[in-house]
Amino acid sequence: MTWRQTDPRPRTRTAAPKTAVPGIAVPETEKPSPGWTIRGTGSYLPSRRVPSDGIARALGLPADWIESRTGIRSRHVADPAQAASDLAAPAARRALERAGLAPGDLGLIVLGTSTPDELGPSTACRVQALLGARNAAAFDVSAACTGFLYGLQAAVGWLATQRGAAPYALVVGAEVYSRFLDPADRATCALFGDGAAAAVIGPAPAPYGIGPITLGSDGTRAGDVLIPAGGSRAPAAPETLAALGHTIRMDARAVRDFISGVFPRLVAEACEDAGIKPADLALVVPHQPNPRLVASLAAQAGLEPGQLAIAGRDAGNIGAASLPHALDAAVRARGLKGGDLVLLTGFGAGVTWGRALITWPPA
């Protein structure tokens, strides 16, 4: 497995090395390393559903304003007693069930979130306790909407160091954004929802498995979307509360431009690195902060609309859970065959981005 931080600027490429699995470079004289893949997926959305037309009316806008611009028809909102771990645990249980595993089979839990239960301990430790995963180490990653891919890299890297019995890792994305929204801010309350999704990572026989996971970031754009207060720079205080500093702030135009540029680029680079064409991809699973915008970029990325897994219309932007939720929905609705090429693409605050190519294993 490889990790690489990429520069957002165009770069000169050299010929790709010979590969045993699409996108995974293996010298001819070197024995291939064990492969790893997704063995099961699961999602959980809170029971309370909030339609977009009600939010639009509350903002003094036409009823179809949100859906016509974003494609989001509704989102789900957590109950007051539910924190991020309470959404993550049922998603994790469903992923374990579909993988045919028990919590005790897990050696690692990695959780991506921007809305943790508390600043410390990690929300992953809360999930470990809720699952009863007594053998698992647990930690959080903070990469906003790219959190699932960052967590996937951490899990694959950990698995590659293990010896003996085949271990398993759990990667989860979970968000409770509803606690961090300004109800008067149309740029954010129109988009965000609550939810969780998970994937179990385990061994894969050749030639199946997760190809290289490529990650990147540009911290000079950290101000494009953030929650400015509540950390060590601006701790909670009467002034930060009065200024709504604990709610999401977003430069909508900057974020839109970022998405419009990064998604087609991630698809192009993944295909070039693997020596394939976009048409060879059975499924492309993007993060979808704005489902209509992402779907509109299919042609620019060389894709047909049917290749995209779009699940944000009835969930909204659920951050680190968005990508795995869309993957889970696609796996359940469409099914995937052994050998299908599946591309995961993420992008979010930081700004961060990432991609992973998977040669899907047989059922």
Looking at 125, 145, 189, 271, which residue is catalytic?
Answer: 145
298 and 193: one domain? no
290 is catalytic: no
DSSP 150-187: HHHHHHHHHHHT--SSPPEEEEEEEEEGGGG--TT-HH
Counted residue by residue, the chain has a size of 363
pLDDT in tens, 150-186: 999 999 999 999 876 668 999 999 999 999 999 999 9
114 and 176: one domain? yes
The domain boundary, picked from 189, 204, 219, lies at 204
* Cα dihedral: 1, 321, 262, 66 (round 10): 170
> pLDDT truncated to tens, each residue of the chain (363 aa)?
333 333 433 333 333 333 344 444 444 334 445 589 999 999 999 999 999 999 999 999 999 999 999 999 999 999 999 999 999 999 999 999 999 999 999 999 999 999 999 999 999 999 999 999 999 999 999 999 999 999 999 999 999 998 766 689 999 999 999 999 999 999 999 999 999 999 999 999 888 999 889 999 999 999 999 999 999 999 999 999 999 999 999 999 999 999 999 999 999 999 999 999 999 999 999 999 999 999 999 999 999 999 999 999 999 999 999 999 999 999 999 889 999 999 999 999 999 999 999 999 998
Looking at 125, 287, 290, 325, which residue is catalytic?
Answer: 287
pTM beyond 0.85: yes
CATH number of the domain within which 328 lies: 3.40.47.10
233 and 150: one domain? no
325 is catalytic: no
Distance (Å, whole) CA 312 – CA 298 = 16
Name residues whose C-beta falls within 8 Å of residue 147's C-beta, 6 or more positions apart in sequence: 112, 113, 114, 141, 173, 319, 320, 346, 348
The domain boundary, picked from 160, 176, 204, lies at 204
197 and 58: one domain? yes
Distance (Å, whole) CA 138 – CA 127 = 8
Label residue 164 left, alpha or beta by phi (over 0 means left) and psi (-120 to 50 means alpha): left
89 and 118: one domain? yes
Per-residue model confidence (pLDDT) at position 75: 97
Looking at 76, 189, 271, 317, which residue is catalytic?
Answer: 317
145 is catalytic: yes
